[in-house]
Structure 1
Amino acid sequence: MTVPTFDMFIEPILRYLSAHPAGAPARDVHEAAANALRLTEADRQELLPSGIQPVFKNRAGWAHDRLKRAGLSSSPRRGFWQLTPDGLAFVAKNPKALSDEQLEELATSHTDVRLRGAAAEMAPSVAGPAASAIAASPDDRLEEAVAELRRTVAAEVFEALRRVSPTFFETIVLDLLHRMGYGASRADLQRVGGSGDGGIDGVISLDKLGLEKVYVQAKRWQQTVGRPEVQAFYGALAGQRANKGVLITTSSFTAQALDFARSVERVVLVDGGRLAELMIDHEVGVTLRPVKVPKMDSDYFEEESA
């Protein structure tokens, strides 16, 4: 199963906190909500695309945020949640499962109308065609927007790679490998492609004396790269007495080519899709702009005891 949208966490959080009127640590509430929603261990391990937090904890946090905005819950101290008197009264008045209308009211009535409008636009791509406007939390919308921008740029980079000259493509590949940390300096990566290159387009010296080297083949193939081409590159490595080789293409590899590379271990294959992603990650031909996302610093507001 997939992790439910944040509005689905509202009720289990309400019920758990009502059973603990003195409050409970947020981590306990997270787990209780996950248990109530029957999340699997795999669900609990799923991370946001940014990799900074499990998805279920993020959505539980946004559900509690909505309860706080509605005046039903509070955070009397950092990492600790507790229902307010209004929250306890609300649960007592609604002992049975909340209706969809009640959940929607809690999820949206105390948020800025502009956020609700953004949710209406983003929710279908985040949670499926049947998702309502409340289904996507602000973090969901942000992550999806970034993912969409990344997919668009990756496609643009991929198309640009298919248009550049073979010589410049080889240079791009070496620039990328340098940005990834191969070679102490750009001078340690040399383009050697040309007639009689034996299938080798570039050489990376991993140490100052050039005792350890990685050989590179960078080709703008249009057709799928098969096992014979990978075997030929492997043979070129043997001719150079090389231990490591990277074969990079704007195309893709057949299953047989991938199996052969795994069997010989010292050859790494990079297809066009992965190449575009690596260029984004390491800002080769791509510019990343920072996005400042505000988050309150709870420690700042903690007053020292007298």
Structure 2
Amino acid sequence: MSAPPTWDQYMAPALTVLSDGEVHRARDICNAAADLLEVSAEERLQTIPSGQLRYQNRSLWALSYLARAGAAERPVRGQYRITDAGRQLLASHPDGITEKNLRAFVGDPDASHTYYALKALEGTTHDANGAGTTPEKTAELDPIEQIDLGIERIHATVAGDLLSRLHAGDPAFFEQAVLDLIMAMGYGGAEGTATRTQLSNDGGIDGIVDQDALGLSRIYVQAKRYALDASIGRPEIQAFVGALHGNQANQGVFITTARFSKGARDYADSVPTRVVLIDGTRLAALMIRYGVGVQVKQTVQIVEVDEDFFE
């Protein structure tokens, strides 16, 4: 009996289903792709430990990666449509799209927000030559390492989604999300507060975190939704430092969905005022770590033999 199709084997059939240019529901795409792959009725009943059907899980991952790579788009939640780039990808690989093909299709991670598409595909484990972990190398990992690698890839996928959602929302929502994160990290203490300033007259400060009930210690925050592939330079950080001085403040946090240039980071390190720069990569990682904008979907327990019991 042959092995069931892997998640990447679902990519070409999924794009084939979408090639009519219409918007399709994810479940319909999964079923149609399974038909093209000739997945048997028996295989369609197989489940993964969470209880989800294996073929649906794998086909949904394929759709997720295709959307992240720009080969498909999601006009509304749970529905997909092929893009022009997706048509080109399918035309280039009509007999099947591999994970390696998709990485090559995504392109330069520094050129756009597709950084997270590559990171989700490759994981964050690299060998001595800097190469990403391939399926062949994954087989060489012990079970715990494979779990860790899987979690890293899931986090990379969620991180990309978080930044896309934050960038698509309105400025007020982003600023409040940033303040929620700072409070979740423990700043503000038991009696502290976080206040978002008025959008029309914020003076270069988007939020203020009082770390004590009297407001004697404050953190000033600037939160900017720049394009995910943008680079924030020194002038923006200089303006933020000027806003801090205008408020007689000696510490501030500049948080963005984009990234900072070397000049911006060097300037922040050189001024007496304590300025912490948090780019999109670190922002997403912190939101996942402190549970802001995410929820736990599944908890995995790893057991070992209790030696004391047998002694």
Q: TM-score range by the shorter chain?
A: 0.5 to 0.7
SS at match of 2:189: coil
SS at match of 1:207: coil
Superposition TM-score, scaled by structure 2 size: 0.54
Superposition RMSD in Å? 2.3
- Asked if 1:184 is matched to 2:189, the reply is yes
- Asked if 1:291 is matched to 2:304, the reply is no
Tell me which stretches of 4 or more aligned residues in structure 1 moved more than 6 Å.
none
Higher gyration radius (CA): 1
Which letter does structure 2 place at the counterpart of 1:298? Answer: E
Contact residue 126 and residue 141 of structure 1 kept, 8 A = no
Q: 238, 242, 245: which one pairs with 1:238?
A: 245
SS at match of 2:146: helix
Contact residue 251 and residue 274 of structure 2 kept, 8 A = yes
Change beyond 3 A, Cα 1:142–1:263: same
Q: C-alpha deviations, 1:129-187, integer Å up to 9, x for none?
A: 59467512111211111111111111111111111100100000011011000113586
- Asked if 1:163 is matched to 2:171, the reply is no
Partner residue in 2 for 1:262: 269
Matches of 1:187 and 1:134, distance apart in 2 = 49
Q: C-alpha deviations, 1:101-149, integer Å up to 9, x for none?
A: xxxxxxxxxxxxxxxxxxxxx99x7765594675121112111111111
Matches of 1:234 and 1:242, distance apart in 2 = 9
Deviation at 1:296, TM superposition (A): 1.6
Change beyond 3 A, Cα 1:224–1:138: same
Matches of 1:300 and 1:229, distance apart in 2 = 61
- Please show how residues 1-306 of structure 1 align to structure 2 within 5 Å: 128-129=133-134, 131=136, 134-184=139-189, 188-222=193-227, 223-264=230-271, 266-288=274-296, 289-302=298-311
Matches of 2:215 and 2:183, distance apart in 1 = 15
Which structure 1 segments of 5+ residues have no match? 1-121
Which letter does structure 2 place at the counterpart of 1:234? Answer: V
Matches of 2:198 and 2:206, distance apart in 1 = 4
Matches of 1:153 and 1:134, distance apart in 2 = 24
Deviation at 1:202, TM superposition (A): 0.4
Change beyond 3 A, Cα 1:297–1:247: same
Deviation at 1:240, TM superposition (A): 0.4
Matches of 1:133 and 1:255, distance apart in 2 = 35
Change beyond 3 A, Cα 1:132–1:229: closer
Which structure 2 segments of 5+ residues have no match? 1-121, 128-132
Contact residue 256 and residue 280 of structure 2 kept, 8 A = yes
Contact residue 203 and residue 216 of structure 1 kept, 8 A = yes
Contact residue 178 and residue 185 of structure 1 kept, 8 A = no
Which letter does structure 1 place at the counterpart of 2:300? Answer: V
Which letter does structure 2 place at the counterpart of 1:262? Answer: D
Contact residue 126 and residue 144 of structure 1 kept, 8 A = no
Which letter does structure 2 place at the counterpart of 1:267? Answer: V
Change beyond 3 A, Cα 1:185–1:168: farther
Matches of 1:133 and 1:184, distance apart in 2 = 43
Change beyond 3 A, Cα 1:213–1:138: same
